[in-house]
Chain A
Amino acid sequence: MKTICLILGVIISLWAPRSEAKEFKFPEMIGWKQSGEIQTFIPKTLFEYINGAADLYIMYDFQELKVAEYQNEKKASITVEVYEHKTPTHAFGIYSQERLSNADFIDVGAQGYIENNTLNFLTGPYYVKMTSYHTGAEDCEILLTFVKKVSENLGTNGTLPAILSSFPEEGKKKNSEKFINRNFLGYSFLHSAFTADYELSGKKFKLFVIEGVGKNDCKDMIQKYLQQTKTSEKSPVEGRYTVADPYHGEIDLHWQGTYIWGTLSLNDSNLRSKYLKLLEVGLQKRK
């Protein structure tokens, strides 16, 4: 305690100027008034707002949530929730966890979609969720008006993570891509992965890509995975591995440089080889 006090004291004595908080401003909307205070939640308090769902957001390096509610004279209301995550990839991760692949997608930010009374979109490190109440037949129009202003004020745009373009198109379920931030496949040593769902000739399967922070990181992951699955390989080298995973069945994966990619839930070995190759080609295009 004393140490912290001392550190704080030193810091404060050295830097007198006040630091500026990075602030997103909720827009002024003609015909609407903000009701009540803007609520702010941080990782420690997020559960007060979304209870049990909070942990998942925190797993995606959630930083802060700001919530504003607007009302008009007809007692209709719009709630705007702006979730800020550490990076655009983390924001995509939580967005992808909640995105329904068959939603009505709209052109806003990196991506967005609208349903009855709900409009969600992704822009930069922000995942924005808007909900309307008592807006009647104009619901969609009102949400679209709000989204324009909110996205302008957020000032970011960006695109979906570039690595998603590496997934082969053949058989891919549209908008099924996800980013799993940690514990991929239920293993803490596989930190994060991008996945996409596929369906081909009635066969449903997944492809995944793990992007390591370096070659050694990938080697470490492969080594631990081989140990976990009791696959004999003392010092793994780049190349293809077939692993009998006790929980996930047979998995084919390939390690090259800073990428590990593979197939999940795909029994057909020819198809596995085909998709590993297609993914390799996709990843090579990124280089």
Chain B
Amino acid sequence: MDKKGIGRRDFMKSSLAGFSGLFFLPQLDMKQELRVAEVKGKEKKFVYRTLGKTGIKLPVINMGVMNTDNPNLVRVALDSGMVMLDTAQVYQRGQNEGMIGEVLKGRPRDSYIIATKARLPNDQTTGLYTQEATEEAFLKKVDVSLKNLGLDYVDVYYHHNVWKKESALYEPILKALEKIKKAGKARFVGLTTHMNEPEVIQASIDSKLYDVILTSYNFQQKHYPEVRNAIARAAQAGIGIVGMKAIRGGSRQDPTVKNPAAALKWVLQDPNVHTIVPGFTTFEQMNVDLAVAENPLFTEPEKKDLEKVASISGLYCQGCRECVGQCLGDLPIPDLMRAYMYTYGYRNLTHAQDLVLSLNLPNRVCEDCTLCSVKCSVGFDVSKKIRDVVRLRNVPSEFIG
């Protein structure tokens, strides 16, 4: 590792020092938030929080439905005390909403909270809307969702996947959201953000329109302090905060996920997060999540698990993308840094090689510059890592696989 202070040991030391002050927040008095959930069969006490100015009281864990087509899993989640179901029109091309609609038939309308979302065509590289993104198009989307769900209204209707402030404030969609709310098709409107969250959250506050924000927030985000501050400002402004991607960016399948419950608790230690909507596909995973809703306080082993994982991930690029455009050779640095992480962090040479080969790199990489023009935000020697990882191009894939 290079000598300029980003050695593994140094990083571990500095990261762990940071944990004591920031990584773990002061323990909350959960007793104030405990409430008996209406669970069929037996009584359960879940921690409840209020979703900002919406006034909706929710258990701190609810269900992200996106990955399942199993109606009985959704049914059991509701019967077990979860209240909010989070879906989107894009999930299984509307069939996720349709499946939820079937489950909801016959249930009192005030016994559940439905949040769904839609997005319009945008430029994937800039995050900005294209000319196809019109108010009318967005208004049509909500009608399709209501039809899929078999409902007259949803509780929260999100403007989906925003990562630029300009998009958060995109007037045709803001107008559409106002109309949707006014027409009673959604009780509240919100926005979802998976990247560049602080900027988007601030824009949402500035808009004075959004009631709820669904945001990525997890212990492995390099910029979690900024996300945490933005969330605090939004909560202060009365916006309801729903967390997502709490478990390793959302994927329970990721090999680095060792302790999903601890990851959920890390998000819930922040009192400004009102609920989380983790996705689960098994009853076992659901029970893990329900146990967290009963007691979101950390155990010591859970804290240690998180510290360990966070320290390791801090040794690799976290995708701030500040390096984009800095390379004189126009190399895709974030992708190459990710390949480096696959190689040394996850020890997954197949993924690393696949990625390197997919980048169509020039034959000579980092060989023509005497001085690297890239300034990594955390001081990594980018050129050295790139020269190291591109060697994977010369390894037969059969050997690695």
Contacts and interface: CB of A to CB of B under 8 A. Distances in A.
Nearest to A264: B72
A53 B118 CA distance: 12
A241 to B, nearest CB: 19
Nearest to B283: A186
B251 interface: yes
B308 to A, nearest CB: 16
Contact of A19 (B91, B161, B347, B395): B395
Interface residues of B, number: 62
Nearest to B194: A51
A202 interface: no
Q: Which of A67, A100, A178 gathers most chain B CB within 10 Å? A: A100
B380 interface: no
Contacts of A48: 195
Interface in A53-87: 53-56, 58-59, 63-64, 67
Given A21-B358, A53-B90, A133-B121, A43 B66 contact: no
B250 interface: yes
A36 B396 contact: no
B281 interface: yes
Contacts of B353: 19
B70 interface: yes
Contact of A178 (B64, B69, B244, B281): B69
A97 B90 CA distance: 12
Interface in B175-189: none
B343 interface: yes
B394 A186 contact: no
A55 B344 contact: no
Nearest to B343: A4
**Interface of chain A, helix or strand or loop or mixed?**
mixed
Contacts of B250: 47, 52, 54-55
Contacts of B161: 51-52
Nearest to A48: B195
B355 A186 contact: no
B347 A4 contact: yes
A54 B91 CA distance: 9
**Interface of chain B, helix or strand or loop or mixed?**
helix
Given A16-B394, A49-B124, A52-B250, A11 B64 contact: no
B283 A187 contact: yes
B91 A133 contact: no
Contacts of A187: 282-284
B336 interface: no
Contacts of B125: 36, 39
Contact of B91 (A44, A53, A64, A182): A53
Contacts of A42: 351, 354-355, 358
B342 interface: yes
B393 to A, nearest CB: 6
Given A98-B95, A133-B132, A183-B281, A56 B394 contact: no
A222 interface: no
Contact of A188 (B67, B132, B284, B354): B284
Given A17-B394, A247-B72, A64 B124 contact: no
Given A47-B249, A55-B251, A15 B124 contact: no
A39 B244 CA distance: 26
Contact of A15 (B66, B359, B396): B396
A133 B130 CA distance: 11
B95 A97 contact: yes
Nearest to A98: B93
Contacts of A178: 69
A178 B69 CA distance: 10
A1 interface: yes
Interface string A31-46: 0000010011011110
Q: Which of A51, A53, A67, A248 gathers most chain B CB within 10 Å? A: A51
Contacts of B92: 56, 97-98
Contacts of A15: 394-396, 399
B198 interface: no
Contact of B343 (A8, A19, A64, A183): A8
A133 B343 CA distance: 40
A18 interface: yes
Given A12-B394, A188-B282, A247-B76, A52 B66 contact: yes
A185 interface: yes
Nearest to B341: A44
Contacts of B192: 51-52
Closest 5 CB pairs of A and B: A21-B357, A183-B281, A98-B93, A40-B358, A186-B73
Given A51-B160, A185-B72, 10 more contacts: A4-B344, A8-B395, A12-B394, A42-B358, A52-B90, A52-B250, A53-B90, A63-B354, A247-B72, A247-B76
20 contacts: A1-B344, A4-B347, A12-B394, A15-B399, A18-B393, A18-B394, A42-B358, A43-B351, A45-B338, A47-B250, A50-B90, A52-B194, A52-B250, A55-B66, A55-B253, A59-B281, A182-B281, A186-B70, A188-B284, A247-B75
Interface of B: 8, 64, 66-70, 72-73, 75-76, 88, 90-95, 121, 124-125, 130, 132, 160-161, 192, 194-195, 244, 249-251, 253, 279, 281-284, 286, 335, 338, 342-344, 347, 349, 351, 353-355, 357-359, 391-397, 399-400
